[in-house]
Structure 1
Amino acid sequence: MTTHTETDAERIARRYPGSRTPRWLWLVAVAAILAVGVPWLIWTATYGANPAISAKIVSFSVTSDQTIDVRVTTQRPDPARPAVCTLTAQAVTYDTVGQYVLELPPGSEELEHHDVTIRTFKRPTSVKIEGCTPR
């Protein structure tokens, strides 16, 4: 059984001093972060959950060393609003070897299918959607 003396307590206090920052300052900092962070999180979640346009590559087929056929499905909650999507073809080394800008004029259908042929300067192996934006 070990007993701790006052000397031990002083030695421990010198080795592990108390915090220099007052506790109330930490509470104010946490409250400020929460006051800004929670509304920002709610805003980004609602904005990101309802995009103006979304697109998905349904299928693609490499037809030659210079072309790749792509089927893209787009969804616009407001089909009367025009939009544009950028598709990028990539080589086996992940180099961009071709690009296609898909113009979506105002329409009446919310869900549309598009068949696109992307011309490339090198054999493509995959295709991706760089992004879609409303106009």
Structure 2
Amino acid sequence: MRPAKRWVLPATVIAAIGISWLVWVGLHHSNPDIRSSVISFTATTDREMSIRYEVVRKDKDQVLTCTLVARDYDKTVVGQIEDEIGPGLAVVQKNTEIPTRSQGVNADVVACRIK
């Protein structure tokens, strides 16, 4: 007499649902509505950082606000601004100056969001 394998059908259903969900999550999060990336940054003076960054958005008519920060050697934020990107192109590259309270060593785009 063989033992019953009642667990095979529920395990198959749960595996199919789990794999489907995993594929959906991977595809959904790999292509967000708004993406930003830093191209370069430079300490122009003791009180200012220059950052060049790119924003890619699916809807080119959206108005975006990007939070830009400058940090010092200890990774302390020494400058922060909100930079607005108006409607226009889907891919935008910007050069922006970030005023700082002391010497900055790097700059970053924290986040871009719909205004």
Look up the match of 1:40. Answer: 21
Look up the match of 2:35. Answer: 54
Residue 113, structure 1, aligned to residue 93, structure 2: yes
| Equivalenced residues, count | 112
What is the TM-score with the length of structure 2 in the denominator? 0.79
Matches within 5 A, 1:1-135: 34=15, 37-107=18-88, 109-135=89-115
After superposition, the CA RMSD in angstroms is 2.4
Shift of residue 103, structure 1, vs aligned partner: 1.3
Amino acid at match of 1:93: D
- Deviations 1:62-87, CA, capped at 9 Å, x for gaps: 01121001111111121112222211
Larger RCO, structures 1/2 (Cα 8 Å, 6+ apart) = 2
The alpha-carbon distance between structure 1 residues 115 and 33, as it changes in their structure 2 partners (threshold 3 A), is: same
Identity %: 27
State which structure, 1 or 2, has the greater radius of gyration over its C-alpha atoms.
1
Within 1, Cα distance between the matches of 2:91 and 2:19?
34
Within 1, Cα distance between the matches of 2:61 and 2:80?
26
Shift of residue 27, structure 1, vs aligned partner: 6.2
Within 2, Cα distance between the matches of 1:117 and 1:77?
26
Q: Which runs of 5+ in 1 are unaligned?
A: 1-23
Which one has a larger percent strand, Structure 1 or Structure 2? 2
Which one has a larger percent helix, Structure 1 or Structure 2? 1
The alpha-carbon distance between structure 1 residues 120 and 25, as it changes in their structure 2 partners (threshold 3 A), is: farther
Amino acid at match of 2:30: A
Q: Which runs of 5+ in 2 are unaligned?
A: none
**Stretches of 4+ moved more than 2 A in 1?**
24-40
What is the TM-score with the length of structure 1 in the denominator? 0.69
CA contact (8 A) 1:52 1:133 kept: no
